[in-house]
């Protein structure tokens, strides 16, 4: 039963590719099988259909290959354009914000230096000048 369904599906597929209806293909097959006078004509038409079918599949394959090559080329161009855009954006960000980042880093270094000096004074004095609260927060 599955072989019959597979054969029917193949006939339906051929009819979709060639544009002939399933009924026309079935009529040609029946004519080739049943009527000896039309058999030569039916066999020739079936051979032409097979040649057309194989040619169609081959041309479809060539078209798909060309289309894939075009997609690959377009994707490569898009990747190149995206890389150039990313590089330009990185340079723009660097030019815009590096001065601000340098200033913030300088301020952070100065703050760290003040903290270090303050901790050094804490070690030399017995108690914190701000009271016990800052020390309590620091050790927990």
With 60 as the cut, is the pLDDT of residue 138 above it? no
Residue with tokens 């898009």: 78
Copy the structure tokens of residue 137.
Answer: 């927060």
Selected residue with higher pLDDT from 70 and 120: 70
Better-predicted residue by pLDDT, 13 or 85 = 85
A 10 A CB-CB count for 56 gives 13
Q: What's residue 96's pLDDT?
A: 86
pLDDT at residue number 133 = 62
Q: What is the pLDDT of residue 48?
A: 85
Q: Which residue has the tokens 């914000």?
A: 97
pLDDT the model gives residue 136: 58
DSSP string covering 81-134: HHHHHHHHHHHHHHHHHHHHHHHHHHHHHHHHHHHHHHHHHHHHSSS-TT-SHH
Q: What are phi and psi of 125, to 5 degrees?
A: -100, 150
pLDDT tens-digit series, residues 84-137: 999 999 888 888 888 898 899 999 999 999 888 887 877 666 565 666 665 555
Q: How is residue 42 annotated by DSSP?
A: H
Model confidence at 140: pLDDT above 50: no
- pLDDT digit string (tens) for 37-51? 777 887 787 788 778
Q: Is the pTM of this model over 0.75?
A: no
């Amino acid at each position: 039963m599955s072989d019959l369904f597979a054969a029917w599906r193949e006939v339906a597929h051929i009819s979709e590719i060639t544009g002939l209806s399933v009924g026309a293909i079935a009529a040609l097959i029946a004519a080739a099988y049943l009527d000896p006078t039309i058999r030569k004509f039916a066999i020739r038409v079936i051979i032409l259909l097979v040649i057309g079918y194989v040619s169609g599949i081959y041309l479809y394959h060539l078209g798909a290959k060309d289309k894939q090559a075009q997609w690959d080329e377009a994707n490569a161009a898009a990747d190149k354009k995206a890389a150039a855009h990313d590089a330009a954006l990185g340079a723009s960000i660097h030019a815009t914000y590096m001065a601000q980042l340098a200033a913030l880093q300088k301020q952070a270094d100065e703050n760290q230096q003040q903290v270090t000096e303050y901790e050094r004074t804490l070690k030399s004095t017995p108690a914190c000048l701000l009271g016990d609260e800052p020390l309590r927060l620091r050790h927990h």
